[in-house]
Structure 1
Amino acid sequence: MDARSERIAVPLAVDLDGTLIAADLLWESLFLLIRKRPLCLFLLPLWLMKGRAHLKCRIAERIDFDPAALPYRAELLAKLQEEKAAGRYIVLATASPRLLAEKVAAHLGVFDQVLCTDPHCNMASVTKRDALVAAFGDGGFDYAGNSKADLKVFEAARQAVVVAPDRAASVWQAAHGGELIAAPKVSMRTIAKMLRVHQWLKNALIFVPLVLAHQYGNPPVLLDATLAFIAFSAAASAIYILNDFFDLALDRRHATKRNRPLASGVLSIPFGLGAMAVLLLVAAGTAAFLPPVFAAVLALYLVTTTAYSIAVKRMLLVDVLMLAGLYTLRILAGCAATGIEVSFWLLAFSVFFFLSLALVKRYVELRSTEVPVGERLAGRGYRLEDQEIIAQAGMASAFSSALVLALYIQSDTIDALYTHPWLIWPLGPIVLYITMRIWILARRDEMHDDPIVFIIRDWRSQAVAGLGALLLFAAGL
């Protein structure tokens, strides 16, 4: 018997979490459960008291699970399909519960047998090893795994296939050999993408009260605003990670969001949780150097954005109103950090301006996603037939922001702050140019970014915004 025939004659057992998929079904199903039934969060300790296996099975019973949305490791899956075609007996040996494991097996169609967790037995480590040895004998099977929990199984296998190994599995593979299927290396760019570093520019709104009060030359005030910016950026990144946890399945069905580090499986959920903890500590530690009212605003931001991630983002119109409010909250945070009083005109302008941009975002999502008439956009409260009313509301909101700005420019407040208030009048047309251009591009299907990100990247928007800043500065000379 040649080497290939000898290999085909030996069953191949394959782990699921972290091996066949670049994910962990326990974490994924946990976030699916919390998103669908938040109150079940209080049942988790009771289920865990009956064992890890019981916990997994109870969660699996309460979620809608789509195996097609999982991030499968292409190299390993291709190997399994090739081995199956050659007639090899392949076993899915996983610690995931039966409800999930059998759906994965049915979806892929390459497995002859499934060994998995039931309510009384967690199919991991020694338990998995004993089940495979009982079925095929000691050294009577090959095994593909990835983690410390798989080391006992590797030792009982004829040959190990080490896939995207953790530290313990990597050390074992280096010492004992076996086939290695390495994971993509994680770069700082990947971590920055998870943190959405480019979105930190939104927190520049914290500096708006300082600029409008002409306090940009005051070092203590500038330092307070900078600390507030750091705290908000860290908190925002933590919430972006949390939002990704809840949207894993939806992101994987999206043309571009499927490439996000957590959705693609390049970064794991435990890594994301660790990053969240660090970011929240940074936010809290930085806020400690600022007035207590800033900490209250930051806490409100965290609560509101968490509510948005879990539920509000699926509520018709409430979602865009909350988004506009969150942008305005950044301005209030700048006031809280620096002690500068905020103008009603500024808050009114902010609400209308950012409401228009939030509506653009929903409009673009409807235009770029195939949604049957009468059905809602996945994860949102909008339907295809809502496009026109969203566009009308968005453009009306854009004009309202310009109107509020014009009324502010004409108010008595301006005379007290600016030597040449007439120089500020072009700000109205500048705001209209930016917002109307965005809406025109959206109607042409030429708007593919978050509108805030678009403004940051678009040279025309940058040019007119820079002109507005120069006029604002010149008016105060």
Structure 2
Amino acid sequence: MKRITAILQLLRPHQWLKNLMLFFPPFLGGTLLTQGMVVKGTIPCVVFSLASSAGYLVNDLMDREADSNHPRKSSRPLASGMVAVTTAKTLAILLAASAIIVALSVGTTFTLLVLAYLSVSVAYSCCLKKMPVVDLFCIATGFLFRLMAGGAVFSIRISEWLFLSVLLLSLFLSAGKRLSEKQTLSVITAASHRKVLTHYPDGFLDGVLFMTGSAVLVTYTMYTLSHNFLLYTVPLCCFGLLRYILRVKSGLSGDPTESLLRDPWILVVGAGWSAMVGWGIYGT
């Protein structure tokens, strides 16, 4: 039973929440409640769940020694030895292969996006995560691939302002995650856990966080101008961005999923934004 729990922990099912990004295009496009649309997006969402879990497995395999030096991640199944390396490798291959095979039944464009996502995930785990700035963009592309996959699945064009908003928000969250790690770990521990942190001089990640946060507000506001009812969600988004910055600067985790699930204010902002957008699109 403990081994099964450990394997499930490796898959990080709570991170599958990110795959709801696939439903953003039809949700914002006003077609999500059309008959069959949710069902249509179920298989693609499962595919990205399989692909993302495969990516997490590869990352944990590459990081198992470094994770052993982290105060919290040292308890992860691979770092603690609860799950064998061969088991994790086999599972990663099976999940990636399953994701690709199922993706083929969805469509060519979708399959290419899944392959691109897997390629970036593997490249990130192997070497790109050691390169400053490049690592931030690698994390951000994961969100972009989900957004574009949603557009491909539901045959909806992604607007330029929405694309830029998601890109900048992803960079904002990536910088916040790295900054929280840098603040939590000592210089020696940071070097042994995540070497890229030592390449970020003091104040750099803070600057990226503030710059991308400001840019998100601009691009999202421009996006809302073509949907007048969305303009009233801008103050809510501003509050959410500031709350996330406060959370990171206070020494709390900057992981986007953890922040959403554990910070009541951010959770309320997310729910409120969804409700306001949903009412504006579907309630009028």
TM-score range, shorter chain: over 0.9
Corresponding residue for 1:344? 160
Corresponding residue for 1:208? 24
| Residue deviations 1:123-174 (CA, integer Å, cap 9, x gap) | xxxxxxxxxxxxxxxxxxxxxxxxxxxxxxxxxxxxxxxxxxxxxxxxxxxx
Corresponding residue for 1:245? 61
Corresponding residue for 2:278? 473
Aligned residues of 2:24 and 2:147 also touching (Cα < 8 A): yes
* Equivalent of 1:379 in 184, 194, 212: 194
- Cα offset, 1:267, TM superposition: 0.7
Aligned residues of 1:297 and 1:333 also touching (Cα < 8 A): yes
| Residue deviations 1:109-135 (CA, integer Å, cap 9, x gap) | xxxxxxxxxxxxxxxxxxxxxxxxxxx
The 1-side partners of 2:268 and 2:77 are apart by 33
TM-score, normalised to structure 1, is 0.56
Matched to 2:259, the amino acid is F
Aligned residues of 1:230 and 1:286 also touching (Cα < 8 A): no
Corresponding residue for 1:452? 257
Corresponding residue for 1:223? 39
The 2-side partners of 1:277 and 1:384 are apart by 32
Corresponding residue for 2:208? 393
* 2:249 counterpart of 1:434: no
| Residue deviations 1:422-476 (CA, integer Å, cap 9, x gap) | 3x2232122221121111122121x125133211332211212111112112222
The 2-side partners of 1:471 and 1:209 are apart by 16
* Equivalent of 1:462 in 227, 243, 267: 267
- Cα offset, 1:280, TM superposition: 2.1
Aligned residues of 1:324 and 1:355 also touching (Cα < 8 A): yes
- Cα offset, 1:377, TM superposition: 6.5
- Compare the two structures and name the one with the higher strand fraction: 1
The alignment partner of 1:200 has SS state of: helix
| Residue deviations 1:38-94 (CA, integer Å, cap 9, x gap) | xxxxxxxxxxxxxxxxxxxxxxxxxxxxxxxxxxxxxxxxxxxxxxxxxxxxxxxxx
Aligned residues of 1:294 and 1:333 also touching (Cα < 8 A): yes
> Relative to structure 1, is the Cα distance of residues 274 and 377 closer, same or farther in structure 2, using a 3 angstrom cutoff?
closer
The alignment partner of 2:71 has SS state of: coil
The 2-side partners of 1:377 and 1:391 are apart by 22
Aligned residues of 1:215 and 1:222 also touching (Cα < 8 A): no
- Cα offset, 1:376, TM superposition: 4.9
* Equivalent of 2:8 in 192, 198, 209: 192
The alignment partner of 1:425 has SS state of: helix
The 1-side partners of 2:261 and 2:107 are apart by 30
* 2:84 counterpart of 1:268: yes
Larger Rg belongs to: 1
- Cα offset, 1:378, TM superposition: 3.9
Matched to 2:127, the amino acid is A
1:111-122 mapped onto 2 (5 Å cutoff)? none
Corresponding residue for 2:117? 301
Q: Between Structure 1 and Structure 2, how many residues are aligned?
A: 281
- Cα offset, 1:234, TM superposition: 0.2
Higher relative contact order (CA 8 A, sep 6+): 2
- Cα offset, 1:210, TM superposition: 1.3
The 1-side partners of 2:118 and 2:132 are apart by 21
- Compare the two structures and name the one with the higher helix fraction: 2
- Structure 1 gap ranges (5+): 1-184, 415-420
* Equivalent of 2:108 in 282, 292, 308: 292
Aligned residues of 2:143 and 2:170 also touching (Cα < 8 A): yes
Matched to 2:257, the amino acid is I
1:144-163 mapped onto 2 (5 Å cutoff)? none
Corresponding residue for 2:137? 321
The 2-side partners of 1:389 and 1:403 are apart by 21
Corresponding residue for 1:257? 73
Aligned residues of 1:316 and 1:380 also touching (Cα < 8 A): no
Aligned residues of 1:244 and 1:262 also touching (Cα < 8 A): yes
The 2-side partners of 1:451 and 1:231 are apart by 21
Corresponding residue for 1:278? 94
Matched to 2:211, the amino acid is A
